[in-house]
Chain A
């Protein structure tokens, strides 16, 4: 069975601090995809990144960076120099295989609050 665990329920930081959101996943599949989504108060899930199980390169996009480590089944997300606009709930998710596009298994989410 697949499972995604986000142990941090809530995180509160002050603006300009760096923050890391943890994600640990479980799957027996050798091919899978991992995602991060942002959910602002409006409710819509906003896609941030997708990684496949064969690509362990870290990725940086502006203030966002992701660290994928298969050895520890983790896919952590770091926001550098956080801003108030980063306040949202962040979800880590897993898709079992290429042919199951859209069937995402989500973690419980981490609510990030960035205070000015």
Chain B
């Protein structure tokens, strides 16, 4: 049983560019959440998707957007990249109504 998988593992982008990160949830899970973890900090909630809709959102600008597909996989898009967007982006999947979330290994984004 595959766990949560994220791609790519590492990414380097230039300021102003756009990036798309991908996440496949654990089998049987229908809810995907995205977190941003800056160096030396705890993960910060970006948003959560369920039934292909954004259900909850943290304190992140509209440059951060997402999508969930019918197979429950999800994408995180960040437009107009800033240096401060450099971080580890973690995807977590869960089953609706269940508090236990499983995390992927993350995508480390570096903006130069």
Residues of A with Cβ closer than 8 Å to B?
A: 4, 33, 37, 42-47, 50, 91, 93, 95, 98-109
Count of chain A to chain B residue pairs whose CB atoms are closer than 8 Å in the complex: 72
- Bound Cα distance from A108 to B37, whole angstroms: 10
Query: Contacts A43-B108, A44-B106 hold; do A103 and B48 have CB atoms under 8 A apart?
Result: yes
Identify the closest chain B residue to A92 (Cβ).
B42
> Contact: A105 with B95, CB < 8 Å?
no
**Chain B proximity of A31: nearest CB distance (Å):** 10
Neighbouring A residues of B48 by C-beta, 8 Å? 102-103
- Cβ of B92 within 8 Å of any chain A Cβ, yes or no, is yes
> Contact: A105 with B108, CB < 8 Å?
no
- Bound Cα distance from A50 to B96, whole angstroms: 16
> Contact: A101 with B94, CB < 8 Å?
yes
> Contact: B90 with A101, CB < 8 Å?
no
**Chain B proximity of A112: nearest CB distance (Å):** 14
- Bound Cα distance from A101 to B94, whole angstroms: 7
15 further contact pairs, Cβ within 8 A, besides A45-B103, A47-B100, A50-B99: A42-B105, A43-B106, A44-B104, A47-B103, A50-B100, A98-B99, A99-B97, A100-B56, A101-B96, A101-B97, A101-B99, A102-B32, A102-B33, A104-B101, A106-B44
Query: Contacts A101-B97, A102-B31, A102-B92 hold; do A108 and B103 have CB atoms under 8 A apart?
Result: no
